[in-house]
Structure 1
Amino acid sequence: GNRLQASEASQPTDTVVTEMPDGTAVINTTSLAKDVEGYAGAVPLSITVRDGIIEEVKALPNEETPSFFNEAFAALAPQWKGKTVTDAIALNVDAYSGATFSSEAVIINVQRGLRYYNEKYAAAEEQETADAATKSNPASDPAWWAAIAVALAAAVLPFCIRGKWYRPVQLAANVAVLGFWTGTFISYTVLGSIVANSFSLAMLPVWLLVAIAFIMPLAGKGNRYCAWACPLGSLQQLAGMMPLPGKVRISLRVQKILATVRRIVWGVLVLLVLSGIFTDWMNYEIFTAFMPSVCSTVVTCLAAVFVVLSFVIDRPFCRTLCPVGELIDLTNRTE
């Protein structure tokens, strides 16, 4: 086991730390420990941290011998689960006998991932601790009020204001407030979080958006969320309003084809989740591009491509791929 050194030599260049709206952080150690090899190669990990506590350490695809690696990993991973990031960093974990190289690589991956997270987010976590009162009383947070105001405006004002001038104003507010300022939107990750956790006042803006998406259609108001509240849809609509040449007009036949494509994509993604084969696709929902400080490069690039296309094609992501939009439309059709 002496060929592995827990050095700090390699510096992260593209490590993905994804922070979810509920505060959960997922650390991907692929680039942090790409110089650390087990028996057959690198052993990247995914580490989930919630409120400073390690919830899960999961192995990502690697070239190790499955029987040896799985046995070693099963013995190591539980030792970090439930511990604070600080305690886990200080924890002295011994390599697993019989798979020394693999287990040492796992240990170093965990150490580097947690140290990177601790260094990068220490100031933020200290600020969160200092703002505990604000968290328990979100009414003292201007961003919370702004998100509620914009969500309510999207739900009510389009029925009251008939002038065409109002639509771009609402869309811009969605992008600025619900998108970049507060990161308030509906995604499968967010839906999973609000289902798994009890109602909290801090999540009220999200619940308002859920009501717009799934409750308002019961009153015959149609899909108001996609048209009036979704920050990503709003950004695409604003791009499409720019008076540029070369606009692509989509025929009714093509629209039906695109709707079918979106339905198929949604069905495949749901099957992947239900079967447990691949649930990580939710980490690549491009809504998180509104939070550039924690968004991966891949997601940012995907979002940028669709926004650029929106200048000449009407809402390309909404029409072809958006799984949230398909869920809302499916719910509306069922209702």
Structure 2
Amino acid sequence: MAVRLLTCALMLLAVAVQRSGRIAGHNLAVAGAESDSVVLSGTREAFVIDTRAIAADIKGYGGDIPLKITVSNGKVSRIEPQRNAETPEFFSEVQDRLLRQYTGMTPEEVLQSQLDAVSGATLSSRAAMETMKRGMEYAVNRQVPAKNAIDWSVLGSARFVISFCVVLMGAVVPLFVRNRRYRTIQLALNVLVLGFWCGTFLSYSLIVNYLANGLNRLYSVIPLFLLVTAFVYPFFGRKSHYCTWLCPLGSLQELAGSCTKRKWKLSPEKLKYLDRFRDGLWALLMLLMWSGVCLEWMDYEPFSAFLFTKASWIVIVIALVSVALSFVVTRPYCRFVCPTGNLFRITQNPR
């Protein structure tokens, strides 16, 4: 099992390099390929600040969020996000609803501002706000700002505490308690808290982003705990623990399936065909990623459909079809499609 886990980790590292050119936050690009200047051009009245040289340590969901900030006549006149690995649909909300609010502010006003994060894109929002303030601190003092102190208050927020309790329950209680009623409660909490309220789940995109950019301070505590249940629990005989006890989408499918007693009976031949389809799909997607083709498929796994106001229509449709089929087939997406779940399974089970 350890060999399979290491092999999958190396495969995903290759994907992370292909997607972002980084490993654990270290840029593998040729030195000097990007400018290390903070002020790109202009005069004291009108200048452009590039945050890549001063805010690379600030991480969103997919890594740093470099910005080119134009300051004209003492006010922010333009903000241009540069290439980043954030999920496009979610980051467009950050750009439209958050970054635009800084236009017309003075650097001092930006530093004093307390804007609200975009719901469902909290990590991207926080990173964008911290990056803006890092750039405006340079604009005011004309020297490289110190790195931001860790905001320990995150650990005390209601969202963190409640979601962490739900994850802890799903990770620990099933080790000692086998009760159908408790299982139903846990599945419902997964859907309501981890899914709709917090948008907390494992996905290919999250795993690849962590390999490429490293962990994101305190905001990675809960996802890291989920990764332990997915990759470490199997070493102690708890295979598929994350998929069966914590995944919000898997929980929603199971709850939907519990509403009906009659299910389609799939013959052994059909089950074998569906298993081959799942494995073939996973192999094809990995091959495409290694080739640098269609890396964007990771952004279309249906987990983000819980954040339905931000998710793309394709993601929502896939999620709705999966839940609808769950009434007649047990957990269809989990068993016959899910690339993330198949990754966990391949690291656990010999072929």
Which residue in 2 is equivalent to 1:272?
A: 288
Name the stretch that deviates more: 303-312 or 189-198. Answer: 189-198
When residues 308 and 244 of structure 1 are mapped into structure 2, their CA distance, relative to the original with a 3 A threshold, is: same
Which residue in 2 is equivalent to 1:120?
A: 97
Counterparts in 2 of 1:188-227, with a 5 A limit? 188-195=204-211, 196-198=213-215, 200-227=217-244
Percent identity between the aligned chains? 33
Q: By how many angstroms is 1:50 displaced?
A: 7.2
Secondary structure of the residue that 2:116 maps to in structure 1? helix
Name the stretch that deviates more: 188-197 or 169-178. Answer: 188-197
When residues 254 and 143 of structure 1 are mapped into structure 2, their CA distance, relative to the original with a 3 A threshold, is: same
Q: Kindly indicate whether the alpha-carbon contact (under 8 Å) linking 1:178 and 1:231 is maintained by their aligned counterparts in 2.
A: yes
Which residue in 2 is equivalent to 1:139?
A: 155
Q: 2: CA distance between counterparts of 1:133 and 1:146? A: 24
User: For structure 1, which runs of at least 5 residues remain unmatched after alignment?
Assistant: 1-48, 57-80, 94-113
Q: 1:237 aligns with which of 254, 261, 276?
A: 254
- Aligned partner of 1:213: which letter? A
When residues 140 and 331 of structure 1 are mapped into structure 2, their CA distance, relative to the original with a 3 A threshold, is: same
Q: Kindly indicate whether the alpha-carbon contact (under 8 Å) linking 1:134 and 1:140 is maintained by their aligned counterparts in 2.
A: no
Q: By how many angstroms is 1:187 displaced?
A: 0.4
- Aligned partner of 1:240: which letter? G
Which residue in 1 is equivalent to 2:68?
A: 83
When residues 241 and 286 of structure 1 are mapped into structure 2, their CA distance, relative to the original with a 3 A threshold, is: same
- CA deviation string 1:22-48 (max 9, x = no partner): xxxxxxxxxxxxxxxxxxxxxxxxxxx
Q: By how many angstroms is 1:90 displaced?
A: 4.2
- Aligned partner of 2:274: which letter? L
When residues 117 and 194 of structure 1 are mapped into structure 2, their CA distance, relative to the original with a 3 A threshold, is: closer
When residues 84 and 178 of structure 1 are mapped into structure 2, their CA distance, relative to the original with a 3 A threshold, is: farther
When residues 136 and 321 of structure 1 are mapped into structure 2, their CA distance, relative to the original with a 3 A threshold, is: same
Secondary structure of the residue that 2:293 maps to in structure 1? coil
Counterparts in 2 of 1:151-170, with a 5 A limit? 151-170=167-186
Which residue in 2 is equivalent to 1:298?
A: 314
Q: Kindly indicate whether the alpha-carbon contact (under 8 Å) linking 1:237 and 1:314 is maintained by their aligned counterparts in 2.
A: yes
Q: Kindly indicate whether the alpha-carbon contact (under 8 Å) linking 1:168 and 1:238 is maintained by their aligned counterparts in 2.
A: yes
Q: 2:164 aligns with which of 148, 152, 160?
A: 148
Q: Kindly indicate whether the alpha-carbon contact (under 8 Å) linking 2:231 and 2:344 is maintained by their aligned counterparts in 1.
A: yes
Q: 1: CA distance between counterparts of 2:266 and 2:312? A: 31
Q: Kindly indicate whether the alpha-carbon contact (under 8 Å) linking 1:258 and 1:320 is maintained by their aligned counterparts in 2.
A: yes
Q: Kindly indicate whether the alpha-carbon contact (under 8 Å) linking 1:55 and 1:82 is maintained by their aligned counterparts in 2.
A: no
TM-score, normalization by structure 1 = 0.63
- Aligned partner of 1:127: which letter? D
- Aligned partner of 1:306: which letter? S
When residues 86 and 156 of structure 1 are mapped into structure 2, their CA distance, relative to the original with a 3 A threshold, is: farther
Which residue in 2 is equivalent to 1:320?
A: 336
Q: By how many angstroms is 1:198 displaced?
A: 3.1
When residues 84 and 285 of structure 1 are mapped into structure 2, their CA distance, relative to the original with a 3 A threshold, is: farther
Q: 2: CA distance between counterparts of 1:312 and 1:135? A: 47
Q: By how many angstroms is 1:244 displaced?
A: 5.4
Q: Kindly indicate whether the alpha-carbon contact (under 8 Å) linking 2:281 and 2:337 is maintained by their aligned counterparts in 1.
A: yes
Secondary structure of the residue that 1:218 maps to in structure 2? helix
Runs of 4+ in structure 1 off by over 6 angstroms are 129-134
Secondary structure of the residue that 1:83 maps to in structure 2? strand
Say which structure, 1 or 2, has more relative contact order (CA 8 Å, 6+ apart).
Answer: 2
When residues 294 and 252 of structure 1 are mapped into structure 2, their CA distance, relative to the original with a 3 A threshold, is: same
Q: Kindly indicate whether the alpha-carbon contact (under 8 Å) linking 1:135 and 1:202 is maintained by their aligned counterparts in 2.
A: no
- CA deviation string 1:89-143 (max 9, x = no partner): 94699xxxxxxxxxxxxxxxxxxxx998644335698224799999553212111
Q: 2: CA distance between counterparts of 1:85 and 1:177? A: 40
When residues 117 and 138 of structure 1 are mapped into structure 2, their CA distance, relative to the original with a 3 A threshold, is: closer
When residues 143 and 260 of structure 1 are mapped into structure 2, their CA distance, relative to the original with a 3 A threshold, is: same
When residues 269 and 84 of structure 1 are mapped into structure 2, their CA distance, relative to the original with a 3 A threshold, is: farther
Q: 2: CA distance between counterparts of 1:85 and 1:266? A: 44
Q: 2: CA distance between counterparts of 1:182 and 1:117? A: 17
Q: 1:174 aligns with which of 187, 190, 195?
A: 190
Which residue in 2 is equivalent to 1:27?
A: none
When residues 158 and 253 of structure 1 are mapped into structure 2, their CA distance, relative to the original with a 3 A threshold, is: farther
Query: How many residues are treated as equivalent by the alignment?
Result: 239
Q: Kindly indicate whether the alpha-carbon contact (under 8 Å) linking 1:242 and 1:311 is maintained by their aligned counterparts in 2.
A: yes
When residues 302 and 292 of structure 1 are mapped into structure 2, their CA distance, relative to the original with a 3 A threshold, is: same
When residues 116 and 186 of structure 1 are mapped into structure 2, their CA distance, relative to the original with a 3 A threshold, is: closer
- CA deviation string 1:10-65 (max 9, x = no partner): xxxxxxxxxxxxxxxxxxxxxxxxxxxxxxxxxxxxxxx976xx979xxxxxxxxx
Q: 2: CA distance between counterparts of 1:238 and 1:255? A: 22
